[in-house]
C-alpha cells in the first residue's frame, strides 16, 4: 500500500522545543523512563495508566489539598471509576496561578464590537466581583449556575466565578430555541441564571428578553437573573440584576474553593436530536489534568501563545478553548457569523489578534475551500503554527487546500473526541508527520482500538471506535440518571466494560487514524460497510454541489436503498447530466459500491445546532417514523430542512 502524501514533517528544532519533548525529558529525569518516539510514549501511557496520569498531575504542578491512596478506583465498570480520591483541587485557582501580565488574558471581537483586550488584572477583578455576587444570591458549593451568553468575555468570567466558589456551570448559547434550553436547564435545577439581553448574528439583532422571562418563570429553582446588556438599545421594562452594576462595585479579593477531585465542574449536553439531551457531567480534577495534557502536549500551546477555536458557548469546544488559560496562553474569542461582513471575518480576526493556533469545524474549512480562498500571499496566515479541525472528518481535499492555499508548512491538527469527554481521543502530535486525510495519533492515555463486528481489535480495516480504559475526563455521571441507566446504554451496551464511541474508524499500520463518520449512520452495501464521509468528500468536490446527505434505508422485502440528497449552489438545477457527473466522481474517487441509488435535490441539508449532519434522524423519518419522534426540532440549526423528508417519496 502506497503512503499518502506527506503534508508536514516537524523539524528537529521544532520537536526539541515542543512541550511534548519537555515532558519526555522530565520523565527521563524524574522517573528514569526514556522513549525514542511518540509510539513508545503512547504505549507506556496506556500500559501504565496510573503512572501516566500521576505524572501529568506532577508535571503540571497541580496544587491540591489532602492525600490520595490510589490514582484510580478501577472496577470492571468503567463508568464507576473515580480518580485521585482524597484530594481537593480548584480549576479557577490554576487559571490565575503564576500569570504573566505581558500579554492579555482574552482578546475579543464580535460583529458589533471593536477589537478588545482583557488584561489578567481585569479578568481577576471581574471574576471576583461576579463570584461575590453569586455568594450574595446564596450560591454554594454544588449549586448550579446556568448561562445563556454569547461567546464574549462575560461568559468566561461567569464560568470562572462559578467555579471559584465550587458551584457547577452549565451553558446554552443564545441561538438555542426556548424548548431546547428548557429541556436542558430543567434537568439540573439551577439557582442563578446569567444571560444576555440580545445577540447579533449575520448582521441581525435578536432580542432575548421574552425568552429570559419565560425561562426564569418556568424553572422554580432560579432565584436570581443576572443580565448582561450585550446589545445597546434593547428597550424593555424588565429589570433583573445588572451585570454592569455588579462590576461597578469596589474591588474585592478572589478566593478559591477547593473541591473533591471528582466534584462536578460543569454539565454539558448531547445534541438531543432523538430525545431529551443527556446532561453529561465532568469532574473538576478530570478536566484539569486532561486539558493540561491536551492543550500543552498535543496542541503545543505555550505561555504567551494566542489560542483560538471558533465556537459558541453551547459547544464543548468553548470549554476546551478556555483551558488555554491553564497553560498561560491568551484565549481569542469571536462572536458572530464567520461569513459576516464577509467570508474573511475569522481570518481578519486571526491577523488582528495575532493568533498562533487557529481552530474551527471541518465544515468551515470546506466552506473556505469552496469560496476559493487563497492565503499564499498573506504573510501572517502563512506563519500560524497550527490549524485545528474538528466536528466532522476533514477529507483529503481539505488537507490539500491547507497545503496549497493556506500554508505549505501547516501543522494540521485534526481533533476528534466529543462532548462526552470534552477533549479528544485522537489529535495532534509534534513528533510525527501529517499525512493527507489522516489524524496523527491516539492521544496519550487513550487506549483506542478499532473493533470488528466480532469484537476483535483490527488494523487497516474499518471498525467501531472503542476505548478500552477509563479516562479522567469521562463523565462522572449523567445528571439525574438513576442507576447510570442512560450512561450505560450510551457507551457500554455493545461491548460490556468497554466504551463504544459510535464512530467508524481505521487505524493504519503507521498508527495514524482515519474517521469515516458516525457508525450509526454507516452505509451497508452487500455486507460491505461504507463511511459517509468518503461519499461527502467526493460529492462536495463537484463544483455545483454546496452540501449533501446520504442514508441507507432497509426495505420491507429485506433489500436496501441508498438515496442521496444534494443542496446545490445558487443558479444550478439537478438534471440527469449533473446526476451522472456526481456518480462518476464518486466512482472515480472510491468505488461503484459508494454510488447512491438515487439522487434528489433539496433546498438545504438539516443540521444540529452544533453543526452535525442529521443522518440518523433523516433515516428514521424516511423509514416511517414521525418527525417529532425522530428529531428534537429545537436542537436543530435549521428545522425547516426536515419538512422535505416528511413528504418525500422514493421517485426520481
Name beta bridge partners: 405.
none
Residue 528: phi, psi to the nearest 5?
Answer: -95, 125
Q: Is the pLDDT score of 558 beyond 90? A: no
**CATH number reported for the structural domain that contains residue 383 in this entry:** 3.40.50.12780
Assign 100 a pLDDT band (cuts: 50, 70, 90). confident
CATH number of residue 586's parent domain: 3.30.300.30
- Clarify whether residues 486 and 541 are in a common domain: no
Q: 572 and 473, same structural domain?
A: no
66: its cell numbers: 489532602
3-class secondary structure, 10: coil
- Output the pLDDT for position 458: 95
pLDDT, one tens digit per residue, over 302-354 is 999 999 999 999 999 999 999 999 999 999 999 999 999 999 999 999 999 99
Contact criterion met (CB below 8 Å) for 652 and 600: yes
Instruction: Give the integer Cα–Cα distance in Å for 407 and 5.
Output: 15
Phi, psi (rounded to 5 degrees) for 308: -135, 135
H helices of 256-305, in order, are: 284-291
Q: Are residues 332 and 256 in the same domain?
A: yes
pLDDT at 195 over 80: yes
Task: Using the 3D structure, point to which of 507, 530, 554 is the last residue of a domain.
Answer: 507
Cα–Cα distance for residue pair 155/152, rounded to 1 Å: 6
Would you call 414 helix, strand, or coil by DSSP?
strand
| Number of CB atoms found within 10 A of residue 463's CB | 22
Mean pLDDT computed over 283-288: 99
Residue whose grid cell is 500571499: 377
Instruction: Give the pLDDT mean for 397-424.
Output: 91
User: What's the pLDDT at 1?
Assistant: 57
Q: Looking at the domain assignment, is residue 32 inside a domain?
A: no
Q: Measured in whole angstroms, how far is the alpha carbon of residue 153 from the centre of its chain?
A: 19
Tell me if 461 sits within 8 A of 452, measured CB to CB.
yes
* 240 domain-assigned: yes
* pLDDT band (50, 70, 90) for residue 608: confident
Average pLDDT value for residue range 615-630: 83
Domain check: are 499 and 540 in the same one?
Answer: no
Domain that holds residue 598: 522-646
**Which among 507, 539, 574 is the end of a domain?**
507
334 CB burial (10 A radius; 0-12, 13-18, 19+): buried
Structure confidence by residue, pLDDT tens digits, 465-511: 999 999 999 999 999 999 999 999 999 988 888 999 988 899 999 99
Residue 430 sits in the same domain as residue 532 = no
Asked whether residue 565 falls in the same domain as residue 467, the answer is: no
The closest of 314, 266, 337, 334 to 149, measured between CA atoms, is: 314
392 and 483 assigned to the same domain? yes
User: What is the value of pTM for the model shown?
Assistant: 0.87
Question: Would you state the pLDDT for residue 521?
Answer: 66
The DSSP secondary-structure symbol of 519 reads G
Mean pLDDT (the chain, rounded): 92
Task: Choose among 462, 422, 475, 426: nearest CA to 447.
Answer: 426
| Cβ atoms of residues 605 and 613 within 8 Å | yes
Pair 439, 543 in one domain: no
Q: Is residue 18 part of a domain?
A: no
Residue 146 in any domain: the answer is yes
- Grid cell for residue 31: 522517573
Do 497 and 529 share a structural domain?
no
Does the pLDDT at position 279 exceed 60? Answer: yes
Q: What is the pLDDT of residues 19-50, one digit of tens each?
A: 999 999 999 999 999 999 999 999 999 999 99
d(CA 424, CA 415): 6
Is residue 16 in some structural domain? no
Domain boundary among 440, 473, 507: 507
Q: Cell triple for residue 77? A: 465498570
Q: Nearest-5° angle of CA 426, CA 432, CA 438?
A: 50
Report which listed range, 99-103, 189-193, 491-495, 544-548, is most confident: 189-193
Adjacent-strand bridge partners of 8: 434
Of the given ranges (215-219, 237-241, 461-465), which has the lowest mean pLDDT? Answer: 461-465
Give the β-pairing of 279-283 and 264-269. antiparallel
Asked if 305 and 261 sit in the same domain, the reply is yes
Query: Which residue, among 169, 131, 155, has the nearest Cα to 265 in the 3D structure?
Result: 169
Is residue 353 within 8 A of residue 124, CB to CB? The reply is: no
Reported as a pLDDT band with limits 50, 70 and 90, residue 114 is confident
Give pLDDT, residue 284: 99
Tell me the C-alpha distance between 284 and 293, whole Å.
14
Q: Is pLDDT larger for residue 13 or for residue 529?
A: 13
When pLDDT is averaged across residues 570-586 and rounded to a whole number, the result is 93
- For residue 583, is it within any domain? yes
Which residues lie across from 92 on neighbouring strands? none
How many structural domains is the chain composed of?
2
- Give the tens place of pLDDT for each residue, 162-186: 999 999 999 999 998 888 899 999 9
Residue 55 lies in a domain: no
Q: Contact at 8 Å (CB) between 268 and 262? A: no
Q: How far apart are CA 412 and CA 146, in angstroms?
A: 34
- Domain co-membership, 498 together with 536: no
Q: Are 149 and 226 in a shared domain?
A: yes
Instruction: Please report whether residue 56 resides in a domain.
Output: no
- Pick from 629, 641, 616: nearest CA to 552: 616
Helices 576-589 and 532-539: crossing angle in degrees, nearest 10, is 130
Using DSSP, state whether 187 is helix, strand or coil. coil
- Is the pLDDT assigned to residue 95 strictly greater than 60? yes
Q: State the average pLDDT over residues 180-193.
A: 95
Per-residue pLDDT for 247 more than 80? yes
**331 Cβ neighbours under 8 A, 6+ residues apart:** 105, 106, 107, 156, 306, 307, 308, 321, 322, 324, 325
Please check the confidence at residue 518 and state whether its pLDDT lies above 80.
no
Q: What is the CA radius of gyration of the chain?
A: 24
Amino acid at each position: 500500500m502506497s503512503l499518502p502524501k506527506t503534508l508536514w514533517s516537524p523539524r528537529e528544532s521544532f520537536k526539541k522545543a515542543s512541550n511534548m519533548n519537555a515532558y519526555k525529558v522530565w520523565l527521563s529525569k524524574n522517573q528514569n523512563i526514556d522513549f525514542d518516539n511518540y509510539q513508545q510514549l503512547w504505549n507506556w501511557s496506556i500500559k501504565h495508566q496510573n503512572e501516566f496520569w500521576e505524572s501529568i498531575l506532577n508535571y503540571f504542578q497541580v496544587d491540591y489539598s489532602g492525600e490520595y491512596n490510589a490514582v484510580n478506583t478501577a472496577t470492571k465498570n468503567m463508568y464507576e471509576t473515580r480518580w485521585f480520591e482524597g484530594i481537593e483541587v480548584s480549576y479557577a485557582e490554576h487559571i490565575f496561578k503564576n500569570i504573566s501580565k505581558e500579554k492579555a488574558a482574552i482578546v475579543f471581537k464580535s460583529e458589533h464590537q471593536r477589537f478588545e483586550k482583557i488584561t489578567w488584572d481585569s479578568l481577576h477583578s471581574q471574576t471576583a466581583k461576579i463570584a461575590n455576587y453569586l455568594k450574595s444570591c446564596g450560591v454554594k458549593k454544588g449549586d448550579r449556575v446556568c448561562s445563556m451568553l454569547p461567546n464574549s468575555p462575560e461568559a468566561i468570567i461567569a464560568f470562572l466565578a462559578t467555579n471559584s466558589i465550587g458551584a457547577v456551570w452549565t451553558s446554552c448559547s443564545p441561538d438555542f430555541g426556548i424548548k431546547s434550553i428548557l429541556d436542558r436547564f430543567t434537568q439540573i435545577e439551577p439557582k442563578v441564571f446569567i444571560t444576555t439581553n440580545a445577540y447579533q448574528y449575520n448582521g441581525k439583532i435578536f432580542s432575548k428578553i421574552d425568552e429570559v422571562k419565560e425561562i426564569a418563570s418556568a424553572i422554580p429553582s432560579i432565584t436570581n437573573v443576572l443580565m448582561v446588556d450585550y446589545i445597546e438599545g434593547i428597550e424593555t421594562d424588565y429589570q433583573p440584576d445588572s451585570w454592569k452594576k455588579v462590576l461597578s462595585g469596589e474591588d474585592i479579593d478572589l478566593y478559591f474553593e477547593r473541591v473533591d477531585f471528582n466534584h462536578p465542574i460543569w454539565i454539558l449536553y448531547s445534541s438531543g436530536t432523538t430525545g431529551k439531551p443527556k446532561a453529561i457531567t465532568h469532574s473538576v480534577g478530570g478536566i484539569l489534568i486532561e486539558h493540561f495534557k491536551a492543550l500543552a502536549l498535543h496542541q503545543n500551546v505555550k505561555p504567551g501563545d494566542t489560542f483560538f477555536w471558533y465556537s459558541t458557548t453551547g459547544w464543548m469546544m468553548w470549554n476546551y478553548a478556555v483551558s488555554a488559560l491553564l497553560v498561560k496562553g491568551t484565549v481569542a474569542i469571536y462572536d458572530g457569523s464567520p461569513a459576516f461582513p464577509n467570508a474573511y471575518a475569522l481570518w481578519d480576526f486571526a491577523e488582528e489578534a495575532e493568533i498562533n493556533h487557529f481552530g474551527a469545524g471541518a465544515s468551515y474549512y470546506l466552506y473556505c475551500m469552496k469560496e476559493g480562498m487563497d492565503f499564499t500571499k498573506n504573510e501572517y496566515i502563512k506563519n500560524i503554527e497550527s490549524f485545528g479541525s474538528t466536528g466532522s472528518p476533514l477529507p483529503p481535499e481539505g488537507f490539500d487546500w491547507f497545503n496549497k492555499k493556506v500554508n505549505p508548512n501547516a501543522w494540521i491538527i485534526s481533533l476528534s473526541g466529543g462532548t462526552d469527554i470534552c477533549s479528544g481521543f485522537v489529535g495532534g502530535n509534534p513528533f510525527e508527520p501529517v499525512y493527507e486525510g489522516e489524524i496523527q495519533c491516539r492521544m496519550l492515555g487513550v487506549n483506542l482500538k478499532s473493533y470488528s463486528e466480532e469484537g476483535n481489535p483490527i488494523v487497516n480495516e474499518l471498525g467501531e471506535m472503542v476505548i478500552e480504559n477509563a479516562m479522567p475526563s469521562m463523565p462522572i455521571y449523567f445528571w439525574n440518571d438513576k442507576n447510570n441507566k442512560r450512561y450505560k446504554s450510551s457507551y457500554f451496551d455493545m461491548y460490556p466494560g468497554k466504551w463504544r464511541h459510535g464512530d467508524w474508524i481505521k487505524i493504519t499500520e503507521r498508527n495514524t487514524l482515519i474517521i469515516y463518520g458516525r457508525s450509526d449512520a454507516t452505509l451497508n452495501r452487500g455486507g460491505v460497510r461504507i463511511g459517509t464521509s468518503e461519499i461527502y468528500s467526493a460529492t462536495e468536490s463537484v463544483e455545483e454541489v454546496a452540501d449533501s446527505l446520504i442514508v441507507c434505508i432497509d426495505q420491507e422485502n429485506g433489500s436496501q436503498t441508498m438515496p442521496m440528497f444534494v443542496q446545490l449552489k445558487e443558479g444550478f438545477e439537478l438534471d440527469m447530466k449533473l446526476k451522472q457527473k456526481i456518480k462518476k466522481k464518486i466512482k472515480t474517487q472510491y468505488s461503484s459500491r459508494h454510488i447512491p441509488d438515487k439522487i434528489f435535490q433539496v433546498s438545504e441539508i438539516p443540521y444540529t445546532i452544533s453543526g452535525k449532519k442529521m443522518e440518523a434522524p433523516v433515516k428514521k423519518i424516511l423509514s416511517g417514523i414521525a418527525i417529532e419522534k425522530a428529531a428534537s426540532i429545537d436542537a436543530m440549526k435549521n428545522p425547516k430542512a426536515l419538512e422535505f423528508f416528511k413528504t418525500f417519496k422514493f421517485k426520481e
